[in-house]
A and B are shown apart, each in its own frame.
Chain A
Amino acid sequence: MNRIVSKEHFSPHVVKLEVEAPLIARSRKAGHFVIVRVGEQGERIPLTIASADTSRGTITLVVQAVGRSSKKLCALDEGDAVTDVVGPLGQATHIERVGTVVCAGGGVGVAPLLPIVEAFHKAGNRVIVVLAARTKDLIILEDRMRACSDEVIIMTDDGSYGTKGLVTQGVESVIQRESVNLCVTIGPAVMMKFVAALTKKYEIPTVASLNTIMVDGTGMCGACRVTVGGRTKFVCVDGPEFDAHQVDFDEMMMRLRSYKEEEQK
């Protein structure tokens, strides 16, 4: 069960794992995530499903080694099994034909953005992807994105590839040249916060996929709660996608630091 059938390094700390999970591969949709656990003393961590292959019965996860659990997962090799994989969880992305969609991704957020880009494109939208990273080596999935979108704009902090600048500058350049009907953003909380602030200025509806601390992932505990439009929501069951203009990103970033000390041990 949950055997890793292939492993690929995107960068020194980012790996792509293709994991056997036939039931999840069959039922998942864009926007869904899974909870995985590595080892009997492992913790449960959420990971968005980047893609799935129903004929092979596999799902693809893109993992960045940042803490104890993600490092454990990244250390697994082809043929190893992931102890537990459960899903698909959360609400699927609401896909419809709206016109022009800008999809802005940063860091490993680019991976969960891929199925959303694919789905919007398939639904007949003009899809423009803005990929952002600190430097050239950290840009992932560029070819896959190009294959399922109308345009890809690359932004790097140091200008080593694409245009020098932040993701928001890339998004703004699109907004200034053409009419945008929807923006979707996935990445670090601070990035989503600034994308939301930008699109709010232009009154463009924006969806953010939130990546909070989770335990069970089924609505049982509320560890993942966020304030959206002044009300408490559970990211795992009500989300992970919300109206970015309604999300209290400052509170979310604060809560993400809950176990900072423990994580560094």
Chain B
Amino acid sequence: METIPTVAERRAESWREELRQGMKAKERTAIHRVEMNELDPDYRSHNNEEVNQGLTEEQALREAQRCLDCVTPTCMEGCPVSIQIPSFIKNIERGNFLEAARVLKETSALPAVCGRVCPQEKQCESRCVHVKMKKAPVAIGYLERFAADYERESGQIAVPECAPSKGIKIAVVGSGPAGLSFAGDMAKRGYDVTVFEALHEIGGVLKYGIPEFRLPNRIVEVEIDGLRKMGVQFITNCIVGKTISYDDLHADGFRGIFVASGAGLPNFMNIPGENLIGVMSSNEYLTRVNLMHAASTDADTPVFKGKHVAVIGGGNTAMDSVRTARRLGAARAMIVYRRSEEEMPARIEEVKHAKEEGVEFLTLHNPIEYLGDENGRVKHMRLQRMELGEPDASGRRRPVPVEGAVETIDVDEVIVSVGVSPNPLIPQAFAGLEISKRGTIIVGEADMRSSLADVYAGGDIVRGGATVILAMGDGRRAAAAMDEALQEHKS
């Protein structure tokens, strides 16, 4: 792999110095943060078009000027894959959008995805110097998305340079964000990477989970194509641990295995009536709609199109589900969440979008029972009103039932979105793999190596339910560590 210049070396380049001198810091900080162009809520809540429309070139150039090109870019510390943030932003400022995209791809296999779905407010943007000055941070996510989209639409998509083949085979289990990030980094290092995916499409949660209106599948597909061009092979419909075993992988000559099988198992609340018809997990609902295209008329897979839909939970998956329900024609789409809005784990932007689209928020409510009709279809839900008590182990104030405050609401569809558990397939199939009580694979924090010497793991199978970008960060770390271990082994 080519040597990547350091932050300081890049910053010292003459064009960067010229840019810095071309505009005073005071002028830069005086610019207001750009607002993303969005589709009108009334229009968008009835179709699947992407809500966020991206920045225009003018908007991107202007926003890029806000970046002060800090000597110590703390924003980079907030990025789990350590994107060279000032470097790509300054390339946008000088109008070299393709170079900006190239810089992104040095460290991120999926910039168009991350620019859309990362919780930047908790990551890179939370560490922007503007925040310290009590100002809105530079819109790093919007700019990342802009550069990646620009490159894709230009038709001049650069394939990252890869080292000459080492002739060493590496297997990746799962094609979600962790697996794709790992695969990209290993391909760049010259390994022969094969990704095994259980479903019939590549992308994991990017395909079956996150809806089109937030992340169009065609964009995911282009980024996966980029990996294909780097030589990464994808095998669908193949479940490691079922279709092929750990021993089979060894027999086939794989020298390292990265497990990124995710946290696919949906949690249920185990309350009465939860198995009624019309009550389902977010995973089922979103998989039917996103992966199986159930909402389109020519698809064979059916999906309920409820008129009064309750989504239980307050995370991003809950927001994706409730907004999907609106798009499938729900007159009343409700979020039912047992804490208050302040504690909601969903991104602020998703909550805002949901509200604009007419979603009702029943916070401080918790379902205790579902009631059905004579055919077993859900008809009502009984909700317990809650209030906030003392903080619990997570530091958040614990919801406690308000005695006697129970109400009954009409529903014809309920989507349960109260979290996921690690997929047990690999833990069951790899003898000797150390597993935590929660069912996650135990790995070293720095090297992501498991108790089996050739098995590394990352993403939700290690963390439980987390974010796309944390999964990608794990993939990067695992790739660096596996590469180092294989080098040592050789010498």
Task: Please give the residue numbers on chain A whose beta carbons come within 8 Å of chain B beta carbons, in ascending order.
Answer: 23-24, 27, 37, 39, 41-44, 68-69, 72, 83-89, 215-216, 218-223, 225-227, 232, 234, 237, 251, 254-255, 257-259, 262-263
Contacts and interface: CB of A to CB of B under 8 A. Distances in A.
A195 to B, nearest CB: 22
Given A23-B243, A221-B281, A222-B283, A69 B300 contact: yes
Contact of A37 (B200, B281, B284, B287): B200
A218 B239 contact: yes
A234 B299 CA distance: 25
A41 B293 contact: yes
B287 A221 contact: yes
A255 B283 contact: no
Contact of A221 (B200, B283, B296): B283
A69 B423 CA distance: 28
Nearest to A254: B376
Contacts of A225: 268, 275
Interface string B252-272: 000000000000111010100
Given A27-B245, A223-B280, A255 B275 contact: yes
B242 A89 contact: yes
Interface in B278-316: 278, 280-281, 283-284, 287-288, 292-293, 296, 298-302
A85 B260 CA distance: 22
B89 to A, nearest CB: 38
A44 B376 contact: no
Contacts of A258: 277-278
Given A218-B264, A219-B265, A254-B376, A23 B292 contact: no
Interface residues of B, number: 40
17 contacts: A68-B300, A86-B199, A86-B200, A215-B284, A215-B287, A215-B292, A216-B198, A216-B199, A216-B264, A218-B423, A222-B283, A223-B280, A225-B268, A232-B270, A234-B265, A237-B425, A258-B278
Contacts of B299: 41, 43
Contacts of B376: 251, 254-255, 257
Given A41-B293, A86-B238, A222-B266, A259 B302 contact: yes
Interface string B179-211: 000000000000000000011100000001000
B375 interface: yes
B300 A27 contact: no
A222 B425 CA distance: 15
A219 B423 contact: yes
A255 B245 contact: no
A30 B278 CA distance: 33
B274 interface: yes
B281 A222 contact: yes
Contacts of A43: 292, 299-302
B408 interface: no
Nearest to B266: A222
B165 interface: no
Interface of B: 198-200, 208, 236-239, 242-245, 264-266, 268, 270, 274-275, 277-278, 280-281, 283-284, 287-288, 292-293, 296, 298-302, 375-376, 423-425
A23 B199 contact: no
Contacts of A220: 208, 264-266, 283, 287, 423
Nearest to A24: B243
Given A41-B298, A44-B301, A232-B275, A219 B425 contact: yes
Contacts of B198: 86, 216, 218
A12 to B, nearest CB: 22
A254 B292 contact: no
A87 B243 contact: yes
Contact of A257 (B199, B239, B264, B277): B277
Contacts of A216: 198-199, 264, 287
Nearest to B235: A23
Contacts of A44: 200, 292, 301
Nearest to B261: A218
Given A218-B423, A225-B275, A258-B277, A84 B298 contact: no
B277 A254 contact: yes
B237 A85 contact: yes
A27 B242 contact: yes
6 nearest interchain CB pairs? A262-B302, A221-B284, A254-B376, A220-B264, A43-B301, A86-B237
Contacts of A262: 302
Contacts of A219: 264-265, 423-425
B281 A27 contact: no
Contacts of B292: 43-44, 215
B329 to A, nearest CB: 15
A254 B279 CA distance: 13
Contacts of B280: 221-223
Contacts of A37: 200
A69 B200 CA distance: 17
Contacts of B208: 220
Contacts of B425: 218-219, 237
B423 A23 contact: no
A87 B242 contact: yes
A42 B376 CA distance: 27
A84 B237 contact: yes
Nearest to A68: B300
B264 A86 contact: no
A254 B238 CA distance: 32
Nearest to A234: B265
Which of A41, A83, A234 has the most B CB atoms < 10 Å from its CB?
A41
A27 B243 CA distance: 6
A220 B465 CA distance: 13
A72 B423 CA distance: 32
A17 B443 CA distance: 44
Nearest to B267: A222
Nearest to B236: A84
Which of B243, B270, B281, B293 has the most A CB atoms < 10 Å from its CB?
B243
Contacts of A27: 242-245
Given A84-B200, A255-B376, A257-B376, 19 more contacts: A23-B238, A27-B245, A72-B300, A86-B200, A215-B288, A216-B264, A218-B199, A219-B265, A220-B265, A221-B280, A221-B283, A223-B284, A232-B270, A234-B265, A251-B275, A251-B376, A258-B277, A258-B278, A259-B302
